[in-house]
Amino acid sequence: MATGRTHRPATRSRGIPEATVARLPLYLRALTGLSERSVPTVSSEELAAAAGVNSAKLRKDFSYLGSYGTRGVGYDVEYLVYQISRELGLTQDWPVVIVGIGNLGAALANYGGFASRGFRVAALIDADPAMAGKPVAGIPVQHSDELEKIIADNGVSIGVIATPAGAAQPVCDRLVAAGVTSILNFAPTVLTVPDGVDVRKVDLSIELQILAFHEQRKAGEHAAAAADERKGPDGELPAVMPA
Ligand SMILES: NC(=O)c1ccc[n+]([C@@H]2O[C@H](COP(=O)([O-])OP(=O)(O)OC[C@H]3O[C@@H](n4cnc5c(N)ncnc54)[C@H](O)[C@@H]3O)[C@@H](O)[C@H]2O)c1
């Protein structure tokens, strides 16, 4: 679901292209499913289909990891899970703070998928004094006055912004000044950050707008096909249109 870009050159320092990095989570998700079903090995074709990626691209991506699989056997699922997790930095625990604990922030706090992927929700922060101390997903919300201290105390480098759009840039500035170097932004605004800070944005409404575009195009194609069917063999529309 993540969209938007990371403010980084196309190739990362260790020589893995950014496009490959973006596909690693897709492979990991597919491999985790295989691992849960105790599948020991997988061919590049099977894994590519499960990840929704072209198999030649997958083999190229895995060559950057130094993983070539065994002819006739395929890739060792557990080893690939480990390799990709290590490459993505998921073999260590990442403390994350969520700022803005409204509808979305609370839903994110309750999302079990963070912890299972190595992201620990270290703190929930909100500017509303009435929320301070109230538990959400078992974690007491802390007031945003404490933001800098919370970041320092927990060694947080990843911040999630779920505030209204107008608050997102000032919140981002404070997070960055406090030492956060990666931001996942859900607020519908473009954030400005200094070099060395990565921002990814998630915007479901943009995804829906893209689907709406495709729906509109499909509807246009269907209408054109129906009009073609109504045309006679000479390409002329019949004199009386069907009701
Ligand atoms: N990316 C997406 O797909 C997506 C989906 C839904 C909502 N959103 C966006 O997420 C944001 C939150 O939506 P919501 O429905 O949860 O809103 P909400 O009004 O329920 O919650 C916003 C919370 O942010 C807090 N807040 C405001 N200013 C703050 C600040 N300076 N510091 C800390 N906390 C602050 C408020 O007290 C409130 O609790 C909005 O910007 C919304 O547009 C994005």
- Give the phi and the psi of residue 4 in degrees, each rounded to 5: 85, 180
* pLDDT band at 56; cut points 50, 70, 90: very high
pLDDT tens readout for residues 141-183: 999 999 999 999 999 999 999 999 999 999 999 999 999 999 9
3-state DSSP assignment of residue 224: helix
CA of 107 to the centre of ligand 1 (A): 11
Query: For residue 92, what pLDDT is reported?
Result: 85
> Which atom of ligand 1 lies closest to the CA of 189?
41
139 is in an annotated binding site: no
CA of 185 to the centre of ligand 1 (A): 10
Burial class (CB in 10 A: 0-12, 13-18, 19+), 41: middle
Q: How far is CA 67 from CA 33, 70, 75, 121, in A?
A: 19, 9, 8, 32
104 is in an annotated binding site: yes
pLDDT tens readout for residues 114-133: 887 889 999 999 999 999 99
Query: For residue 239, what pLDDT is reported?
Result: 53
3-state DSSP assignment of residue 34: helix
> Which atom of ligand 1 lies closest to the CA of 104?
16
Query: For residue 7, what pLDDT is reported?
Result: 46
| Domain 94-204, CATH class in plain words | alpha beta
- Give span(s): CATH 3.40.50.720, the chain: 94-204
pTM of this prediction exceeds 0.90: no
155 is in an annotated binding site: no
Which of 163, 203, 209 to probe ligand 1 with, by most ligand atoms within 8 A of CB? Answer: 163
Fold type of domain 18-87: Arc Repressor Mutant, subunit A (1.10.10)
Give, as one character, the DSSP assignment of residue 17.
B
- Nearest-Å Rg of the Cα atoms of the chain is 24
pLDDT tens readout for residues 5-26: 444 444 444 689 999 999 999 9
- Give span(s): CATH 1.10.10.10, the chain: 18-87
CA of 188 to the centre of ligand 1 (A): 10
| For residue 231, pLDDT beyond 90 | no
Residues in contact with ligand 1 by the CB-under-6-Å rule are 99-105, 125-128, 144, 162-165, 167, 171, 186-188, 202-204
CA of 152 to the centre of ligand 1 (A): 23
Percent of the chain at pLDDT above 70? 89
CA torsion, ordered 17, 23, 24, 28, to nearest 10 deg: -170
* pLDDT band at 195; cut points 50, 70, 90: very high
- Residues 208-223, mean pLDDT to the nearest whole number: 90
pLDDT tens readout for residues 69-94: 788 889 999 999 999 999 998 888 89
CA of 153 to the centre of ligand 1 (A): 24
